[in-house]
């Protein structure tokens, strides 16, 4: 009779084969991870863009109910409180911190509750290269070129910028733009006149909301004072 042999034992991986598999996995990860990070960043930029579009709609509705005036500087009040009734909240009773569109997913410090800054910038003439702050509401008719005039930008995250955790913060009035030093290419670090717009929140620039309520991504290298002239 033929002798029965036991079933063959499964062949184990050799050390070389195991190292080859690890090398292939590492190579795949090195290729895929940057693509995943890029996709995540693009998704966050899209959400941020959508946030600003919705804020623009709120500003449009606010203007319709307030004789075409829109809020400017923080000293007037707070634009994010003004828009509460137009983003599904009630200004008198609801907390603005419930409004998710006021936060950008890419903002590094998650304590920040207002990730955008509004324009309070006005100029005496077309040759005025400095301008000054305006704290009162402005009629939309004042903006002679709404399609090319910025109303809102993305807030900088830096040591000199306040983290607004609630509306009682003493620096809540600094959520606005009114000085050349506030622009994203500025190297200023003063709490009053230093940079207030993020230079690279999304890639090498950030999103901007214009007075005609469209949103546009602008690289920091292309940002200039001309976008902020109200007339």
Residue 63 confidence (pLDDT): 97
Q: Which of 86-90, 125-129, 139-143, 190-194 has the lowest mean pLDDT?
A: 86-90
| Averaged pLDDT score across all residues of the chain | 90
Whether 208 shows a pLDDT value over 80: the answer reads yes
User: In Å, how far from its chain's centre is CA 169?
Assistant: 20
Whether 68 shows a pLDDT value over 80: the answer reads yes
Whether the CB-CB separation of 201 and 42 falls below 8 Å is answered with no
Whether the CB-CB separation of 155 and 84 falls below 8 Å is answered with no
Whether the CB-CB separation of 151 and 59 falls below 8 Å is answered with yes
Residue 2 confidence (pLDDT): 52
The beta strands (E) that lie in the chain are given as 69-70, 116-119, 121-122, 132-133, 138-139, 150-154, 176-177, 205-210, 215-219
Residue 109 confidence (pLDDT): 97
pLDDT category at 83 given cuts 50, 70, 90 is very high
pLDDT category at 65 given cuts 50, 70, 90 is very high
Residue 5 confidence (pLDDT): 55
Q: What is the average pLDDT across 92-120?
A: 93
Residue 193 confidence (pLDDT): 95
Cα(155)–Cα(133) distance, rounded to whole angstroms? 17
Q: Give the percent of the chain with pLDDT over 70.
A: 91
Higher pLDDT, 207 or 16: 207
Phi, psi of 97, rounded to the nearest 5 degrees = -70, -10
Q: What is the pLDDT of residues 112-156, one digit of tens each?
A: 999 999 999 999 998 999 999 998 999 999 999 999 999 999 999
Residue 31 confidence (pLDDT): 76
pLDDT category at 211 given cuts 50, 70, 90 is very high
Q: What is the pLDDT of residues 20-44, one digit of tens each?
A: 888 888 887 777 777 677 777 788 8
Whether 7 shows a pLDDT value over 60: the answer reads no
Whether 76 shows a pLDDT value over 70: the answer reads no
Whether the CB-CB separation of 188 and 181 falls below 8 Å is answered with yes
């Amino acid at each position: 009779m033929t002798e029965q042999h036991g079933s063959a034992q499964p062949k184990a991986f050799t050390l070389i084969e195991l190292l080859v598999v690890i090398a292939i996995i590492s190579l795949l990860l090195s290729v895929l991870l940057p693509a995943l990070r890029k996709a995540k960043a693009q998704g966050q930029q899209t959400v941020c863009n959508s946030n600003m579009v919705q804020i623009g709609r709120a500003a449009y509705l606010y203007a319709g109910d307030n004789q075409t005036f829109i809020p400017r500087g923080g000293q007037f009040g707070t634009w994010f409180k003004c828009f509460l009734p137009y983003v599904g909240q009630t200004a008198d009773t609801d907390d603005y911190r419930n409004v998710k569109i006021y936060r950008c997913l890419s903002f590094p410090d998650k304590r920040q509750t207002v990730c955008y800054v509004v324009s309070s910038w006005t100029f005496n003439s077309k040759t005025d290269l400095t301008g000054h702050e305006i704290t009162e509401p402005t009629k939309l008719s004042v903006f002679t070129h709404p399609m090319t005039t910025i109303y809102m930008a993305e807030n900088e995250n830096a040591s000199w910028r306040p983290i607004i955790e609630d509306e009682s913060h003493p620096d809540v009035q600094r959520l606005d733009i009114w000085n050349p030093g506030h622009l994203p290419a500025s190297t200023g670090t003063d709490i009053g006149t230093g940079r207030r717009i993020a230079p690279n929140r999304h890639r090498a620039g950030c999103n901007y909301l214009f007075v005609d309520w469209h949103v546009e991504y602008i690289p920091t290298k292309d940002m200039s004072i001309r976008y902020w002239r109200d007339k």
